[in-house]
Each structure stands twice: as C-alpha cells, then as structure tokens.
Structure 1
Amino acid sequence: MMENHDTYLAAWFEGKMTDGELQELISAEAFAHYLKIKNTLSGMELQTPGTEGHFERIKDRLAAQPVARPRVMKLRHYFAAAASVLLFVCIGLYAFRNNTVVTGFGQQQRITLADHSEVHLAAKSSLVYANIFKFSRNLSLQGEAYFEVAKGSKFTVNTPQGTVTVLGTKFNVVASGRYFEVHCDEGRVRVASKAGTVILTPGKSVSFYENGIREWQQEIRPHSHQSQTESAFYSTPAEVVFQKIENQFGVSITYPDAVRSKGFTGAVSHTDLNKAMQSVCLPLGLTYTLSGRNKIEVTDE
C-alpha cells in the first residue's frame, strides 16, 4: 500500500494528478495529512546544497540520450521514485523540527497543539514539541503549565524533575528547581520521578521535594490559569512561592536559608507585587523590604 502511495504522491507532488484524483485513491485522513505537509513544504526552501541542480542535470543528461519506448517508461518510474524519495526526505526534515515557546516575566501564553490539546504556559517557562505532535504526543516543559489534553494516544510531559503520562485529562505541572508538583483536575495522571511513581485521580495532587513525596486531596476548582489573576499554593516551600513571584513581576528576592523550606498555603496575586509579598510573608512571620525597583529582601522575624 505504501508503494502505491509513493507513486500517487510523486505524481501529485509534480502536478500530474489533481487533489480530487488523489482523494479517490487514498483515505480522507491520509489526504488531509499529506495536504498539510504539501502546503507547509510549499513555503519552505530546501537547504540541501546542490540537490535541485544535481537532479536537473540528471534529467537533462538522460533526456539527451536516444532511448527506446520501453526505456522511457522506466525513466518515468525512476523520476517518480526520485520525486517520492525527495518528498519523504522533506517530510522527514519537517516532521522532526521542534517548536519552542518561551514566556518572559509576567507573560502567559496559550498554545493549541495539532491534536487540539491546549497548553496554558505560565510566566518564565518553556515548552518544546515536534511538528508531528499529533502522531507523537511527547513534549518537554521547564517551569509551569496547565494542560487540557484531547482524547487519544499516550500524552507525555517530560521535565528535568520527572515525567507525567496521561491519555485524555486536565492537569497542572510545576517543575521548578528541586520542586516538582502535579495536580489532576480530570482523568488519570501517572507521575514518575527518581523518588517514585504515583497515580493521580481528579482532585489529587503530589509534590516531590528534597527526595520526599507528599500527596494530598483538594477541592476541584477552576484552575488559576483561567482568571490569570492569582496562583494557589498548598503547603508549598517558600522558595517555590518566591520563585513564582519573581517570574511574575520580574524582581529578585533574597531570603535566609532557613526560610526556603517553610510551607505556605494560600493565594498569591499576579497583579499587585505588595499584595503578593504580604500574602506570603504575614502568615510565615516574615518581613520584606523593597530595595530599588526590582530587588526585595526578606528577613525572618
């Protein structure tokens, strides 16, 4: 079947076969996939040195030689095969290129993937995924993101701290330094790290910090990405919360080493820096001082 596809695609790619003719020979799903690739390739410049010129020289040399009719048929098959090979080389180059999305201080971005899954990328985070994501649902995350995964094959999020694997679900991932947290809103989520593996169901969360594992249940609620005005924390180490504030407001926060592992539970504003700092410092018995435009010093009372 693939051999037949090669011949059809070569003719179609050379303009010798119309879209309608190709649709009669292959499935609708296959046609939609090949059409998307063809449209993409039409805007690309092949960078392989000399490929086009070399191919043209071969055609000119062969065309100049007297040949019998049967030989012409063989040459046509040769050109069809060559065009098919070139097409699939281009497809391969396109397919294995990665897309990278990076957010800056205070920025959030929504990404719609080829399989119709959505990713809500938080501030100072990065996401990397392949052009053929629909057929290989595998991506890499650094920072924080909320995922709304379309039903389908296995969907994997790789982070430096661990791996999250799902089918169709909604979940949030925080991968920040030594801290790794996953919250499940819908479906089932498998979380694996060096410290162990946990299966989450709706409303359950897990965090990995300094080789320890903590699981908890919380009320399922609209996630913070939807309002974009605050983030919620549950017994989260202060260093992770301060990192979130730094990413959101573009500031630098210093604090005593004894403060970094203190657990904070509450909400932190995305729009008001003083309100955000007060929300964290007051319940933890801390004070803070603004120094200049973007430096904050935290002290333990």
Structure 2
Amino acid sequence: MRMSNANYKNLDNDSSELFSMLRVPWPKAKSEIWEDTLVKMKPRSVISFKPRSLFWQVSVAAAVVITFGLGLFMKTYTTSVQTLSAQHLSTQLPDGSSIDLNAGSEISYHPYWWMVNRKVNLKGEAFFEVEKGKKFRVESSVGITEVLGTSFNIFARNERYEVTCFTGAVRVQSVSTSNSVILHPKEKAILRTGQLEVDEVTNIEDTRAWLSNKIVFTSVLLKEVFQEIERQYSVKISVPKGLNQVYTGSFDKNESLDNILKIICRPFELIVQKSSATEYRIDKK
C-alpha cells in the first residue's frame, strides 16, 4: 500500500516531536570531552637515559667510595716498634720527633694520619723529644700525657706510671679517675691508686740514665728491681713471695750480672742461685 505525501509529513512531524523529547545524558561537558580528546591526540613522551649524565653519577659515587676508603686506611693503618729484652732502640716519627725505647717496650702510631692527630700508644718505658706543632699525645693503659713541644720520660708498666718532664711543660692525666696535673722541668708525676702526685726531681739525669746504659733505682720495690734486671739482661729470675722492700742503687750495664745480683741481695739477706746461663733463683737465707 502506497503512503501519501500527507502521511509522510505527519510521520516526520511525529518523529521530530519524539526526538525533541529524547535526552541523552553525557558524563562530561563538551569542553571537558574536547580537552580529553586533545590530550589523547598528543604524542606520548619517551623517557631516555643520558649516558653522559649516568657516567658522571657513577664517577662521583666511585670517587666518594675511594675517598672514604682512603681516609679509613690512613686513619687505621698502624706502625709498631718494639724492643726485645736487653735491647735499646731509637726511632723517629713522621714530624721529626724522636723516641728512645728502653728494653721490653713497644710503641704504635698511625703514620698516614700523623699530621691530623699526633698520638702514640706506649707499653714500657721511653724518652720523647717532641717537635713543636699540634698537640702531641702519648697514651697507655693507665695514663695519658699531652704536650706541644718538649722532652720527657714515661715509665708505663702494669699499674706503675711515672712521667718526668725535662723541658717545656707536660700535662698528665689518670685514665681511671681523669685526675690531671701540669709538670714543668725537673718535676715528676707518679700515679698512686688513680691519683697523680707531683714530686721534685733532685737528679733528673738519673731518670734517663738508661740511655747511657746505666741502671738506676730510687726507692723501687725489690720485686720490680728484679723485673727490670730481667728486661735489661734478657734472663729469667725466680724470686720468693713477699718481697715488699724498696731498693736504691745504680749500676753500669757492663758490670757482671752475677755481681749486680749479689750487691742487690746482700742488704736483704738473700742468696743468688744460678741455674743456667740465663736463669737465676733468689732465695731467703
């Protein structure tokens, strides 16, 4: 059946009215949709690494690691100098300061860190002649000595600690109590039960007589006298218990050891028995 023109017209009018009533909900406004479309049309950026920049980053990191490692090496690398029994030895530090080591003594220090921190660790006895410069520090298990430029002698064995000032000024401190004193020439600091006592030295050359191969004892416990003889002559001396007497005397190291021991023992009514060429025994009468 053919539709007339009038019917077509009526249909168009009805469709127009129907579509005019139709509403399609849009999630975004036109302007927002247009902006999103433009963004999607833009070419994507490509992230690329610049080899030159990466190279410099690696180089800087490597330089930091090397510098840190070198600094740690310089700060921890240690030089040690040790003397055996019956041996004296002179050595020089990086700044020209000199140390004379008595028998059975040892020092250690950090040579590559020396200009930053002049510090020496000491076990035994040594005579120091320090060049002027930054603070110079000598540490032992019981005492600490600090100077700027001077000469002094330190005896540091077990709990016995004595410092004698020859020139300049010396600051001495107890490790256990932090008690400290300042020494001037011809003064000696002696550590007793954590406290430092200062005495005037009448004959200061006796303190470093060992540098001239002389052995000098001034009010030293008798058992410590025999210990020093052991170090100076590289022998073994067995002594009885309870030797609490003190001894004062001096000897030339070239003297016969047998004779020296007899001289030391005579005032205390002790007998010297020689077991072998390097072994002696001290007995009571």
Work out whether the TM-score is over 0.5: yes
Which of 95, 106, 128 is the aligned partner of 1:147?
128
CA spacing shift, 1:279–1:137, aligned 2, 3 Å: farther
Q: Distance in 2 between matches of 1:162 and 1:85?
A: 37
Larger CA deviation: 160-169 vs 71-80: 71-80
Q: Distance in 2 between matches of 1:87 and 1:241?
A: 51
Q: CA deviation at 1:129?
A: 0.9
- The count of corresponding residues between Structure 1 and Structure 2 is 232
CA spacing shift, 1:218–1:249, aligned 2, 3 Å: same
Contact residue 173 and residue 181 of structure 1 kept, 8 A: yes
CA spacing shift, 1:90–1:179, aligned 2, 3 Å: same
Cα deviations by residue, 1:276-299 (Å, 9 ceiling, x for unpaired): 324533455543222222222223
Contact residue 100 and residue 129 of structure 1 kept, 8 A: yes
Give me the TM-score of the superposition, normalised by structure 1. 0.67
Q: Distance in 1 between matches of 2:137 and 2:160?
A: 19
Contact residue 181 and residue 196 of structure 2 kept, 8 A: no
Which of 213, 229, 243 is the aligned partner of 1:245?
229
Which amino acid is 2:100 matched to? H
Q: CA deviation at 1:225?
A: 4.5
Secondary structure at the counterpart of residue 257 of structure 1: coil
Which of 209, 218, 227 is the aligned partner of 1:224?
209
Which of 171, 182, 185 is the aligned partner of 1:199?
182
Secondary structure at the counterpart of residue 143 of structure 1: strand
CA spacing shift, 1:74–1:210, aligned 2, 3 Å: closer
Give me the TM-score of the superposition, normalised by structure 2. 0.70
Secondary structure at the counterpart of residue 267 of structure 1: strand
Which amino acid is 1:82 matched to? A
Q: CA deviation at 1:74?
A: 7.0
CA spacing shift, 1:282–1:213, aligned 2, 3 Å: farther
Contact residue 269 and residue 275 of structure 1 kept, 8 A: no
Cα deviations by residue, 1:52-104 (Å, 9 ceiling, x for unpaired): xxxxxxxxxxxxxx997xx6477357536634642452243133211122221
Q: Distance in 1 between matches of 2:273 and 2:76?
A: 49
Q: Distance in 2 between matches of 1:243 and 1:216?
A: 26
Q: Distance in 2 between matches of 1:212 and 1:136?
A: 27
Q: CA deviation at 1:112?
A: 0.7
Q: CA deviation at 1:212?
A: 7.2
Contact residue 165 and residue 188 of structure 2 kept, 8 A: yes
Q: How does 1:34-73 map to 2 (within 5 A)?
A: 72=52
Unaligned stretches of 5+ in structure 2? 1-47
Secondary structure at the counterpart of residue 282 of structure 2: strand
Q: How does 1:275-286 map to 2 (within 5 A)?
A: 275-286=259-270
Q: Distance in 2 between matches of 1:234 and 1:213?
A: 18
> Is 2:155 the partner of 1:170?
no
Which amino acid is 2:260 matched to? A
Which of 224, 227, 245 is the aligned partner of 1:262?
245
* % identical equivalent positions: 29
> Is 2:93 the partner of 1:109?
no
Unaligned stretches of 5+ in structure 1? 1-65
Which amino acid is 1:246 matched to? E
Which amino acid is 1:267 matched to? S
| Corresponding residue for residue 46 of structure 1 | none
Cα deviations by residue, 1:224-265 (Å, 9 ceiling, x for unpaired): 2432x1232221222222111111222222223332x32222
CA spacing shift, 1:208–1:298, aligned 2, 3 Å: farther
Which amino acid is 1:293 matched to? A
Root mean square deviation of aligned Cα: 2.8
Contact residue 210 and residue 216 of structure 2 kept, 8 A: no
Which amino acid is 1:172 matched to? N
Secondary structure at the counterpart of residue 258 of structure 1: coil
| Corresponding residue for residue 86 of structure 1 | 66
